[in-house]
Amino acid sequence: MRGQVLGVDVATGNGQISGEDGQRYVFRPEDWADRVGPSVGAHIDFEVEGRQARSIYRQPGTYGPAPASPPPRADRNKIVAALLAFFLGVFGVHRFYLGRIGSGIVMLVLTCTFFGLAITGIWAFVDFLRYLIMSDAEFAARYQQK
């Protein structure tokens, strides 16, 4: 039977197909026989076994969108970064933790003067608040290790 992939759970690899008969069928990763793998919108051929799709192959010459990929995940924890900014922020420790070595050095050097200490204190507190307010996805995208 022919059909189209309706959705794929990136965590488990399970998905759902709409068959040309108007019925919906489920599949597991081991049901996928094509080396490219499932992607939403892909046109496929498959065998039916009850409500289960088996031996699923992409139709030749048809390509759906790229396979689903998991959302970016931060290599660093935003709560740890916020706590470092709050307690050791005037020394730029949170900046070093996040891989921002240049601004960490600037904060460390500025802390050596009384006026600079005030500036880095405000800077660290703003960073502390920013990390707490920032969404997990934005934090992961911004501070992902390259």
Q: What is the CATH number of the domain that holds 12?
A: 2.40.50.140
Mean pLDDT over each residue of the chain, to the nearest integer: 88
Q: Is residue 44 part of a domain?
A: yes
Q: Is residue 84 part of a domain?
A: yes
Q: Is residue 69 part of a domain?
A: no
95 with 128, same domain: the answer is yes
What's the CA gap between 86 and 98, in Å, rounded?
14
Percent of the chain with pLDDT over 90: 64
Q: What is the pLDDT of residues 2-17, one digit of tens each?
A: 999 998 988 888 999 9
Give me 89's structure tokens.
């922020």
83 with 134, same domain: the answer is yes
85 with 115, same domain: the answer is yes
* Residue 68: DSSP 8-state: P
- What was the pLDDT predicted at 66? 54
Distance, first Cα to last Cα, the chain:
44
* Residue whose pair of structure tokens reads 């204190």 in the numeric block: 121
51 with 85, same domain: the answer is no
Query: In this model, does residue 63 exceed pLDDT 80?
Result: no
Q: What is the pLDDT of residues 76-128, one digit of tens each?
A: 899 999 999 999 999 999 999 999 999 999 999 999 999 999 999 999 999 99
Total of domains in the chain: 2
What's the CA gap between 81 and 127, in Å, rounded?
9
- What was the pLDDT predicted at 77? 92
- What was the pLDDT predicted at 72? 58
Q: Is residue 137 part of a domain?
A: yes
136 with 82, same domain: the answer is yes
3-state SS, 48-68, equals: EECCEEEEEEECCCCCCCCCC
Q: What are phi and psi of 132, to 5 degrees?
A: -70, -35
Tell me which of 25, 58, 91 is where a domain ends: 58
Query: In this model, does residue 22 exceed pLDDT 80?
Result: yes
Q: Is residue 14 part of a domain?
A: yes
Q: Is residue 67 part of a domain?
A: no
Q: Is residue 114 part of a domain?
A: yes
Query: In this model, does residue 45 exceed pLDDT 60?
Result: yes
- What was the pLDDT predicted at 101? 95
What's the CA gap between 36 and 24, in Å, rounded?
22
What is the domain extent for residue 17?
2-58
In this prediction, residues 117-146 reach a mean pLDDT of: 90
Q: Is residue 68 part of a domain?
A: no
Residue type, 5: V
